Amino acid sequence: MVEQLPSILDASADPPTLFDGTTRLYVTYTCPYAQRTWIARNFKGLQEKIKLVPIDLQNRPTWYQEKVYHENKVPALEHNNEVRGESLDLIQYIDENFEGPKLLPEDPIKQEFATELLIYSDTLNKVNLSKITSKGDTLDEVDAAYDKLEEALAKFDGPFFLGEFSLVDIVYAPFVVERFKPLFAEVKNYDVTKGRPKLTKWIEELNKIDAYTATKCDPIELLGGIKKRFGID
């Protein structure tokens, strides 16, 4: 069943009745970090247990920083009278503290590889963002980053990084599939999947996962917003 998404809370909105025992995931629909936690929540079937609270970051309610999350960022999770942030920590927290399919396999070799790939995600994002916003046309570093992903996808049997769908796919998907791939195609005429069959298949398989597709925003609006924010033309 398609979830009816709640309306976005802006500066004029009242806060929810905080710390009343409800578990709340504060997100912004266009934020890729928040999207990671939202996918994890969906994949584990926690739509009823974890309530989505979308925040308008452009016109955000003052109570968000004052009463919910002092860092004033999304995502944040209100659970058991505490508020936590940081998407990488939160997806692991959601996996460990709630029911539903496991997002990290038991196999210690896969767990070790997951840790390596989770750490690498920040590097990949930095390399991509710096190249997409620069005027220079050398894409060697970007090429190397996607070669690394292609190689990583070959390590285990199955279309996903650890074979089966996991935290690792959740961490990369919002950035690679919906943001970098179309931005590089449009701005640098560079296809990140060209000559990379595993990456191509990974994207195809991700797009079959409802927990993920339910979190996608309108691509034109999303990419338009990113281009404006980073001055990409």
Ligand X SMILES: N[C@@H](CCC(=O)N[C@@H](CS)C(=O)NCC(=O)O)C(=O)O
Taking the complex as a whole, how short is the minimal distance between the CB of residue 116 and ligand X, in angstroms? 18
Look up residue 179 and give its two tokens: 């943001």
The nearer residue to ligand X, 72 or 111, going by C-beta atoms, is 72
Q: Which is nearer to ligand X, 54 or 75 (CB)?
A: 75
Least distance in angstroms from the C-beta of 191 to ligand X: 26
Number of residues that bind ligand X (CB under 6 A): 12
Residue among 55 and 139 whose Cβ is closer to ligand X: 55
One-character DSSP codes across the chain: -PPPPPPPB-TTSPPP-TTSS-EEEEE-TT-HHHHHHHHHHHHTT-TTTEEEEEB-GGG--HHIIIII-TT--S-EEEETTEEEE-HHHHHHHHHHHS-SS-SS-S-HHHHHHHHHHHHHHHHHHHHHHHHHHSS----HHHHHHHHHHHHHHTSSSSSBTBBB--HHHHHHHHHIIIIIHHHHHHHH---TTTT-HHHHHHHHHHTT-HHHHTT---HHHHHHHHHHHHT--
25, 53, 77, 87: which one binds ligand X (CB under 6 A)? 87
- Residue 84 or 155: the one with the smaller Cβ distance to ligand X is 84
Q: Which of 9, 25, 27, 31 binds ligand X (CB under 6 A)?
A: 31
- What is the footprint of ligand X within residues 44-63 (CB under 6 A)? 57
CA dist., res. 124 & res. 121, Å (int): 5
Q: Report 99-138 residues binding ligand X (CB under 6 A).
A: none
- Closest to ligand X by CB, 77 or 145: 77
Residues 67-86 within binding reach of ligand X (CB under 6 A):
72-75, 85-86
64 sits near ligand X (criterion: CB under 6 A) = no
Shortest distance in whole angstroms from residue 88 CB to ligand X: 6
Residues binding ligand X (CB under 6 A): 28, 31, 33, 57, 72-75, 85-88
